[in-house]
Amino acid sequence: MPEDFTSAVIIGLATGVGAPIWSSAIVGIINTIKAVPQFAGLVDGREKLTAFVLSAIAVALSFVAALQVVPPAIVVTIPAVIVAIMSWFTLARLAMALHDDFAAKPNSLTGPEA
């Protein structure tokens, strides 16, 4: 099996399996920050941006952690980077959707229809 394909599969599976857990954690972090009065202004109204940033951090940490093992679990190639970017976007969109559901925004699963 080519190394490019192997690294892409490892990154994709690791993020695909962990996406619901990571996105729930990201929503929890956002809501915890909003609950602390000193930090509420940082994310109030910027929940989607915060989800994008925290998702990027989560994927970057996963990518770097996979490089730290000996031998590396992934090989940094163009396909591996593309899969990491797609994983980040998927995780960010899932976190934003979960936040909208928890906040009962219009057209979310728990919110009113617009």
Q: What's the domain range around 17?
A: 3-102
Question: Quick check: is 49 in a domain?
Answer: yes
Mean pLDDT score of the chain: 77
> Containing H/E element for 114?
none
Question: Quick check: is 114 in a domain?
Answer: no
Question: Quick check: is 109 in a domain?
Answer: no
Closest CA to 27 of 48, 12, 57, 56: 48
DSSP 1-39: --HHHHHHHHHHHHHHHHHHHHHHHHHHHHHHHHHSTTT
Blockwise average pLDDT, block size 10, the chain, 114 residues? 50 64 86 88 87 87 76 77 83 85 71 67
Could you give the 3-state DSSP secondary structure of residue 55? Answer: helix
Is 0.85 surpassed by the pTM of this model? Answer: no
Question: Quick check: is 55 in a domain?
Answer: yes
pLDDT of residue 8: 52
Cis peptide before 71 (omega within 30 of 0): yes
Q: How many domains, the chain? A: 1
pLDDT of residue 1: 42
Are the beta carbons of 98 and 109 closer than 8 angstroms? no
Question: Quick check: is 31 in a domain?
Answer: yes
